[in-house]
Amino acid sequence: MIVAQLSQQVSQECPLCALVSKRKHWLRVEKCANYILTELEILADKRARSVQLFQSEDNRMKDLRIVLCTGIDKTSKLKVLQAAKAVGANYRGGVSLHVYDFWQTLQEVAQEKGKVGKRETITQLPPRELESLRELTCYRIGEKFGDEIANEQKRAKHVAVVVTRTIAPSPSGFIRTLDRTHQVFDAEACISIIDNVERMQNNLASDSVWGPLRFSKEEVLLRRQDEIANTEDWSNATSGVGKHFVLAVNEPPETLLGLLFPCVVGQEANRRVYISFPITHADEELKKKKQEFVARLRQRYVVFDPWSITEYDVALSEYKEAKQPEDIDSATKWLEKLGPVTVDNDYRLISQSDEIVVFYPSTRVKVQNSGGDWVDAEQKVLSAGVIAEMIHAKNEQRAVRALWLSEQMPSPFFFRYCDSPIFKTEEEFFKRLG
Q: Quick one: CA torsion of 394, 315, 193, 259, rounded to 10 degrees?
A: -40
pLDDT for res 363: 59
Do 77 and 93 meet the contact criterion of CB atoms below 8 Å apart? Answer: no
Alpha-carbon distance 187 to 169, whole Å? 25
Angle, nearest 10°, between helix axes 15-23 and 2-13?
Answer: 90
| Cβ neighbours for 98, distance < 8 A, ≥ 6 positions apart | 145, 148, 149, 158, 159, 160, 161
pLDDT greater than 70 at residue 112: yes
Encode pLDDT of 196-224 as tens digits.
988 888 888 887 777 777 888 998 899 89
pLDDT for res 180: 85
HEC letters along 138-168: HHHHHHHHHHHCCCCCCHHHEEEEEECCCEE
Do 185 and 145 meet the contact criterion of CB atoms below 8 Å apart? Answer: no
Task: Tell me whether the CATH fold assigned to 58-261 matches the one assigned to 267-434.
Answer: yes
Alpha-carbon distance 89 to 203, whole Å? 31
16-20, 265-269, 389-393, range with greatest mean pLDDT: 389-393
Strands 364-368, 374-378: pairing is antiparallel
Closest CA to 259 of 229, 299, 304, 226: 304
Please list the residues that pair with 168 across neighbouring strands: 175
Do 139 and 184 meet the contact criterion of CB atoms below 8 Å apart? Answer: yes
* pLDDT-based confidence at residue 3 (cuts at 50, 70, 90): very low
Closest CA to 279 of 252, 319, 318, 310: 310
Alpha-carbon distance 157 to 271, whole Å? 19
Closest CA to 363 of 414, 326, 417: 414
Question: Does the domain formed by 58-261 have CATH 3.40.50.300?
Answer: yes
Q: Which CATH number fits domain 267-434: 3.40.50.450, 3.30.70.870, 3.20.20.70, 3.40.50.300?
A: 3.40.50.450
More confident residue, 433 or 252: 252
Please give the helix or strand (H or E) that residue 66 lies within, else none.
strand 66-70
Encode pLDDT of 125-158 as tens digits.
888 888 899 999 999 999 999 999 999 888 889 9
Q: Structural domain boundaries of the chain? A: 2-53, 58-261, 267-434
DSSP 191: E
